[in-house]
C-alpha cells in the first residue's frame, strides 16, 4: 500500500526509514556524488551529454540498493519530487557527519508505523 503525505515534513521520516540500512544510505551518497562529479567534469569539458551521468549513476546505484538491501521499492516511484529533495537532505546530513541522526529517525518511524 502506497503511503500518502500532506507535506514534505511528514514525508521526510518515511523517506529516511526507506533507507534504514547504512549501506543503502552510503550507496545513495556514493552514486549521487559520483554522478555529480562525472557530470561536472563533462560540462567543464564542453560535453553536455555527461550531464546524464547524474541521474544514470545516481539512480543506477540507489535503486538496486532498495531491491537488494532494503527489500523495498524506492520512494521515488510514488513521490518523485519529495524523494529528490529527501535525497539531497539525506546526503547533506551524512556529509555533516550526522548519519546516526538518520538511523534514529528510522528507528522512531519504524516503531510508530510497523
- Residue 90 resides in a domain: yes
**Containing structural domain, residue 64:** 19-113
| Domains in the chain, number | 1
Q: The whole model's pTM is what? A: 0.90
Residue ranges in the chain assigned as alpha helix (H): 8-17, 22-44, 53-65, 80-95, 99-113
The distance of Cα 100 from the centroid of its chain, to the nearest Å, equals 16
Q: Is the pLDDT of residue 91 over 90?
A: yes
- Residue 6 resides in a domain: no
pLDDT of residue 114: 82
Q: Is the pLDDT of residue 89 over 80?
A: yes
Residue range 24-54, pLDDT digits in tens:
999 999 999 999 999 999 999 999 999 999 9
Short-list 57, 75, 58, CA closest to 66: 75
Least confident of 2-6, 35-39, 52-56, 103-107: 2-6
- Residue 82 resides in a domain: yes
Amino acid at each position: 500500500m502506497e503511503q500518502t503525505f500532506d507535506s514534505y515534513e511528514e514525508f521526510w521520516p518515511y523517506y529516511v526509514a526507506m533507507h534504514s540500512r547504512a549501506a543503502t544510505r552510503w550507496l545513495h551518497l556514493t552514486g549521487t556524488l559520483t554522478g555529480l562529479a562525472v557530470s561536472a567534469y563533462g560540462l567543464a569539458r564542453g560535453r553536455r551529454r555527461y550531464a546524464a551521468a547524474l541521474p544514470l549513476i545516481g539512480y543506477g546505484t540507489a535503486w538496486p540498493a532498495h531491491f537488494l538491501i532494503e527489500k523495498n521499492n524506492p520512494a521515488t516511484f510514488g513521490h518523485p519530487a519529495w524523494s529528490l529533495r529527501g535525497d539531497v537532505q539525506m546526503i547533506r546530513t551524512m556529509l555533516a557527519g550526522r548519519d546516526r541522526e538518520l538511523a534514529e529517525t528510522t528507528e522512531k518511524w519504524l516503531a510508530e508505523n510497523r
